[in-house]
Structure formats: C-alpha cells, structure tokens
Amino acid sequence: MRAVKFDFEFRAETASHHGIYIQKRPDMPAGKEEVEYITIAGRDSPLAVKTGERKNVEITLSCGFRENKNDWNAKAREIRKWLDGEGELSFTDSPESFWKVKSVELDAFTRTIKKLGNFDVTFICAPFEYIKEGKKEKEIQEAKYNPYDMSKPIYKITGNGSCTLTVNEKTMKATVGQNLTVDTDRMLSYREDGTMMNTSVTGDYEDLYLKPGENEISITSGFGLVIIPNWRCL
C-alpha cells in the first residue's frame, strides 16, 4: 500500500491544495502548566504554586513550494493570505484530532532559485489537542464517559420554562424559551439565533466541565439536552 503523503489542513484547506510541501515533520509540543514561584522567608527554595492554567503551544513547519518564476510572488501572496488568523489545524498522520489556532506567524519567504521558495510557519495554538469526534452532538449517555482530559462542553437545551442542569452534583439553573445554548468554554449562554442570554442562567460554568472518566449528567424532566463534549488531551 502506498504511504499517504504528509500534509496539513488549516481552515478547511490543505497545504497540497496550495502547492506547498512540508520539508520536515513538526515536533508536537505539550501545553506546559503555568507555575508561579513565591519566595518565602525561611525556606531554602521558592514555593511552586500551580495556577491551573496552561501555556499556548507553538507548532512550526518548514515548507516549500515550486512556482513559475513570473508567478512566484503571486503564489507567495496567496500563501500569506491563507496562513493568517484563527482556525483549526490538523495533520494527515493524526486525522482524528485537531489544534485550535489562535494566530499564525510567517517567516520571510526565501527564493533559493527562480522557481523554488521556502518559508517557516508557526501556529500559536491552545494548549490542548482536540478530538474531532468530540465536536459532534451527543445524547447524555454518549457524553457521560470522558476518555480524555477535563473538557469544557457545550450544552444545548430545548423546552420552555425553568430547568436545572446537573453535572456531577453541581447545578446551573436556566430559563429557557424554546432553546438555550450553554457554552462553558466561552462562558456564554445564547439562543440559536445568536441572542445573548447570560442573564437567564444562574450558576458557575466551571461546575459543568466534564472530568476524565465517568460523569453524571441530568436535566429537569420535560426538557431536551444534547451535549458537544469538546474532548481534548495534552
């Protein structure tokens, strides 16, 4: 069987689509935990305090392309336009996962000969690798078991009136008018039409995170609930 050529996809477009080839596979970093070091009189070393936050990760790729000499600058502009902003990044050797890109840094494009160009691109990403399956809507029974690290799900509630969403014995109360989306990552609540509904919920978004392993999830009888678990791992 012929091996699949290594490629990457950003914002739903592949590098090969733009005529880019990867010269070297990237090192895959892990998000390091933020640690504060506090000096205390009488101690022979600083006290390490974990903040619970993790640093962004950087993924750097060395790339090249081949283009007719008269179109070389136009190709470079095309690539710069594509590799800009936020989006999802994935690789052919890990098709089940993706990274959330916050920004992109491009080094200078070098022209080795008239037709060949080289450049390095660095993706600044959130510190977790996300599982594509975790982007899909799940029924409660499908979302209860989290096989990865702590995740920040999206809860989609349907119904009318007051209800209580309970996750691992912690609750959020909500007033629902047909539909309500509770996004624990963005810490926002809104309707499907985009109307903000933050004042319609009472409780802490952090209480609705899904811990690794088994979780208990329930909602008041008469209301519907689907969950986008946003599974992720280091």
Q: 153-183, pLDDT tens digit by residue?
A: 999 999 999 999 999 999 999 999 999 999 9
**What number is the average pLDDT over the span 203-208?**
97
Q: Tell me if 88 sits within 8 A of 99, measured CB to CB.
A: yes
Q: What is the pLDDT of residues 129-152, one digit of tens each?
A: 999 999 999 999 999 999 999 999
pLDDT of residue 9: 97
Q: Taking the model in full, what pTM does it have?
A: 0.86
Q: Is residue 35 a contact partner of residue 45, using CB atoms and an 8 Å limit? A: no
Structure tokens at 16: 């090969």
Secondary structure element (H or E) that encloses residue 78, with its range:
helix 72-82
Given the structure tokens 């022209």, which residue do they identify? 111
Angle 44-50-55 (CA atoms, 0-180°, nearest 5)?
Answer: 125
Contacts of 137 (CB under 8 A, 6+ apart): 156, 226, 227, 228
Answer yes or no: are the C-beta atoms of 73 and 116 closer than 8 Å: no
b/e 39-54 (16+ beta carbons within 10 angstroms → b): eeeeeeeeeeeeeeee
Helix or strand run (H / E) with residue 226 = strand 224-228
